[in-house]
């Protein structure tokens, strides 16, 4: 639970206005702990948890994580938390600003900007 608590505290430090945000997770034991539920209640954060045996609850997140593993994490030698953070940060920037979707022929940022101009 220390890892989860430290991650939540860092999240709050970088984003002090979390009211209305949603934290999605599997049904790991730490997400069922009273201290975790108190923290999200205090921050007015909603908890979303996948149901047992139903991958559709978080299929978008699982798909994104699968891409990240395939395109990045399995190709890198990660020997420390610092290295992991850097690799993930670099991948996130590459994915959003450089990686072109075959279906849309745009990067995610280009697609978002195009959509926002239409809306």
pLDDT in tens, 7-30: 778 877 877 777 777 777 666 666
In a domain, 83, yes or no: yes
| Buried b or exposed e, range 86-98, using 16+ CB within 10 angstroms | ebeeebeeebeee
Count of CA atoms in the C-beta half-sphere (13 A) of 54? 8
Q: Quote the domain boundaries for residue 82.
A: 59-118
In a domain, 22, yes or no: yes
Is the same domain home to 112 and 64? yes
The answer for residues whose C-beta is within 8 angstroms of residue 62's C-beta and 6 or more apart is: 55
Rounded to two decimals, the pTM is 0.56
What average pLDDT does the structure give for the chain?
82
């Amino acid at each position: 639970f220390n890892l989860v608590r430290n991650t939540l505290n860092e999240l709050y430090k970088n984003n002090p206005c979390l009211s209305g945000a949603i934290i999605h997770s599997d049904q790991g034991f730490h997400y069922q702990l009273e201290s975790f539920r108190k923290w999200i209640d205090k921050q007015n954060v909603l908890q979303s948890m996948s149901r047992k045996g139903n991958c559709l609850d978080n299929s978008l997140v699982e798909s994104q994580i699968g891409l990240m593993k395939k395109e990045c994490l399995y190709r890198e030698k990660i020997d420390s938390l610092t290295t992991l953070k850097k690799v993930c940060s670099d991948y996130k920037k590459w994915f959003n600003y450089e990686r072109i979707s075959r279906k849309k022929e745009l990067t995610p940022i280009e697609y978002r900007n195009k959509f926002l101009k239409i809306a």
